[in-house]
Amino acid sequence: MHAHPPAATGFAVAGEEIPANLLPELIFLLGRVPIVPYGTPGTPELGDRVEPYLAEHDALLLANHGAVTMGRTLDEAWIRMESLEHAARIIVAARTVGSPRPLDAAAVGKLESAPRPGATGEGCLRVVEEYRGHSAAAGRAPAI
Ligand SMILES: [Zn+2]
C-alpha cells in the first residue's frame, strides 16, 4: 500500500528514520522503517529503489515522498500504514512536550524477538514482479 500520511511523510522529508525504540506497537507491528532514497514518483526508478527493501521490511518511508507498507492482505497493509502514521504523530507530540524517552535494549529485544504477524514483504516482491510483467506486456511503466 502506498500513501502520503502527513506525519510519517514529514520524517521522510526530513530524512530522519522514525525511531524504532520508542513505541512497542511500532516495534512489534513494523520493525525498523528505513528511508528509501528518492526516486521520481510514477517511474520505474522509484520501483527499482524500493525493491531491495521489500524482503526485509514491512514498512518503508520514501524520501521526500511518502510511505509504503506491505501485508499478506490489503487490510494488513492498511493497518500497518495506520500504525506508522499513528506512531509518527505520537513521536512528534512527544518531541513537542519534551524529549522522548527510549525503551531500554532489553525491552526492545523482547519485542523484536516476538513473532510478528505476517513478517516481511516477500509476498509483495512477487506482486511487484507480476505487476512489472503485466505493465511491460501492456506497454506501461510500473507506477509506485
Ligand atoms: Zn506517492
110-119 pLDDT, tens digit per residue, is 988 887 665 5
Confidence tier at 139 by pLDDT (50, 70, 90): low
Q: Which residues contact 64 (CB under 8 A, 6 or more apart)?
A: 12, 13, 38
Residue 93 lies in a domain: yes
Position 19 in a domain: yes
Q: Which residues span the domain enclosing 31?
A: 2-104+112-138
41 C-alpha to center of ligand 1: Å?
6
The CATH number for 126's domain is 3.40.225.10
Alpha carbon of 56 to ligand 1 centroid (Å): 21
Which cell numbers hold the place of 85? 502514521
Distance (angstroms) between ligand 1 centre and the Cα of 85 equals: 15
Q: What is this structure's pTM?
A: 0.79
Ligand 1 centroid to 40 CA: how many Å? Answer: 10
Taking the centre of ligand 1 as the mean of its atom positions, its distance from the CA of residue 9, in whole angstroms, is 10
Report CA-CA distances (Å) from 104 to 57, 73, 89, 108, 137: 22, 33, 21, 6, 51
Which has more confidence, 6 or 131? 6
pLDDT at position 144 is 53
Mean pLDDT, the chain, as a whole number? 86
CA of 1 to the centre of ligand 1 (A): 10
Find the helix packing angle between 6-14 and 74-97, rounded to 10°.
70
| Domain assignment present for 144 | no
pLDDT tens digits along 51-107: 999 999 999 999 999 999 999 999 999 999 999 999 999 999 999 999 999 999 999
Residue 72 lies in a domain: yes
Return the pLDDT at 114.
Answer: 81
> Count of domains in the chain?
1
Q: What angle do CA 93, 96, 97 make, to 5 degrees?
A: 90
pLDDT category, 142, cuts 50, 70, 90?
very low
Spacing, Cα 62 to ligand 1 middle (Å): 8
Residue 143 domain flag: no
